[in-house]
Amino acid sequence: MKKNKSTFIKLLGRIKKHGFFIVLSLIMAAVTVATTLYVPILVGRGIDCILGPDNVDFAKIAKILVSIGVVVGITALSQWLMNICNNRITYEVTRDIRNEAIEKIQILPLKYIDGHSYGEIVSRVIADVDQFADGLLMGFTQFFTGVMTILGTLIFMLTIDARITIAVVVITPVSLLVASFIAKKTFSMFKLQSETRGEQTALIDEMIGGQKVVKAYGYEDEAVSKFDEINGRLQKYSLKAIFFSSITNPSTRFVNSLVYASVAIVGAFSAINGGITVGQLSSFLSYANQYTKPFNEISGVVTELQNALACAARIFELIEEEPEMPEAENAVELENVDGTVDLNDVCFSYVPDKKLIEDFNLYVKKGQRIAIVGPTGCGKTTVINLLMRFYDVNSGSIDVSGVDIRQMTRHSLRQGFGMVLQETWLKSGTIRENIVMGKPDATEEEIVKAAKAAHSYGFIKRMPDGFDTIIGEDGGSLSQGQKQLLCITRIMLAKPSMLILDEATSSIDTRTEIKIQNAFAKLMEGRTSFIVAHRLSTIQSADVILVMKDGHIIEQGNHEELLKQNGFYNKLYYSQFDMTAKA
């Protein structure tokens, strides 16, 4: 409940900025309640005008009917305005929360993204915020009017008969106690339901995204089995949550029926004894019904709010997640990049108790081509992550152009590098939009030149609308090779000061690869380049080859020098040709 209270306080902080609409909503709620509660008085007066066969005052009844019509019209107008205000507050708050979430995702450290499934994060931003919006809207729409209706009916009932009103008030706490008891039970179940829904979304996202692999390895049964297990838990938590929430209304209705019966009995005796008129008794019964109805609505709202708060807690957890290390106070913009890179005593590990890179030292001169090779898990890609400052070093330093990368803005550092990865990424949009991401102001001539250099121009021109062809998420129907060619075109256009090529041609046919290697060779002239490769044939022309193992550089030199050393590189190189390493 402490967490629930904390979430509610955070929510109030985001709602208060919409103060004008909240005040207007409350005013309209008060008008709606007041006019709604005034109608029973008018009806009661009308009943008193038709009690006897010779005692019907048609003139007075006509005036009362006109008054009822006017009051009902005012009620409808104020309720409409109230709903407009409530909808505006709800959807502006949810818009702001989603914006906060997306902005936070942009500055979260990669270790958070790597440590959480994409589907689970998506579930928080989409499904949880939707659930939260539904609960918040119900809260605004029904909670305020419900509370005001209860207070208003009590005031109107007191003006008619104080004794009957006291009988109503005495029974009221029973309804509140019942609703409070059930509300405490529902929050934990709704929280589990929300978490499990996120887990389910993550699994669906994985299975659909990797459907070819699932089918290729016959993983369908295991995937279905895993889904059934998660779905079973979701069913269990949902049933419990719905059970506790569904008994709220019947329980409060039972108590409310007791209130109505009490009013009917006490009021009947009072009318018989001349304490109140028949019309006033009719008004009282109407008030008793209206007095108890908000308790049903509020109990439903409380239940829905438990679900909303559970979802809000999850989205706030994301929003309040520790962002990546902030920029240095006097962070500089990296300009006039000379291409020198210096790694001094760098130590880094993803998990504190599991060392990866230790005492890593490397000095790269301007224009050098540095190839990094080694077995899987030796730290090749980790070095790239550190150079791009996707992760910060645990100790030591990395200098680019003589400046510690922690003392420069991340944006300017990353602008200095051009990167092509084995894992391609393309956004939904036109081919042109994907190519110009690194250089939005590129001319048509520059785009065509880059496409020809990357050997993507041929297949692009065969597309229905050429460069303006719209492709779907992650390249849509393009082949993996075509996606990679577009990513290479992107870097050919941007022409950054330094290059990072991580298995950049892994999905391209040999003939095209040779052409692209030649294009890269031209692009790398005068540019510092880091090349990560498993196929050693692609890095033979590198100025320096770093051979890594267990986070350390164990050998260093050019291709010919390393072969002559008859060491680890020698074995790696000849193992590709299924030959025995030279002694």
Q: Any idea where the domains of the chain sit in the sequence?
A: 2-188+245-319, 336-416+543-583
Identify the three-state secondary structure at position 489.
helix
Would the pTM of this model clear 0.75, i.e. be above it?
A: no
45-84 burial, b for 16+ CB within 10 Å, e for fewer?
A: bbbbbeeeeeeeeeeeeeebeebeeebeebbeebbebbbe
Residues 6+ away with beta carbon under 8 Å from 278 = 47, 48, 51, 271
User: CB of 548 within 8 A of CB of 359?
Assistant: no
Maximum Cα–Cα distance across the chain: 126
Ranges of residues in the chain whose predicted pLDDT is under 50: 579-583
The domain 2-188+245-319 belongs to what CATH superfamily?
ABC transporter type 1, transmembrane domain (1.20.1560.10)
User: CB of 255 within 8 A of CB of 173?
Assistant: no
User: CB of 289 within 8 A of CB of 259?
Assistant: no
Segments in 388-466 forming alpha helices (H): 410-415, 431-435, 444-453, 457-461
Packed helices 278-319 and 2-15: angle between N→C axes, nearest 10 degrees = 90
pLDDT at 504: 66
Start-to-end Cα distance in the chain: 70
Query: What φ, ψ does residue 311 adopt, rounded to 5°?
Result: -70, -40
The type of residue at 385 is N
CA distance 583 to 399: 39
Q: Which of 3.30.465.10, 3.40.50.1000, 3.40.50.300, 3.40.50.2300 would CATH assign to domain 336-416+543-583?
A: 3.40.50.300
pLDDT at 80: 92
Residue ranges with strand state E in 391-505? 395-400, 403-404, 417-420, 429-430, 470-471, 498-502
Residue 487: CB atoms within 10 A of its CB come to 26
Q: Which two tokens stand for residue 227?
A: 């889904």
> Which residue bears the tokens 């509020």?
298
Torsion angle, alpha carbons of 87, 93, 94, 95, to 10: 100
User: CB of 287 within 8 A of CB of 180?
Assistant: no
pLDDT at 73: 92
pLDDT at 217: 67
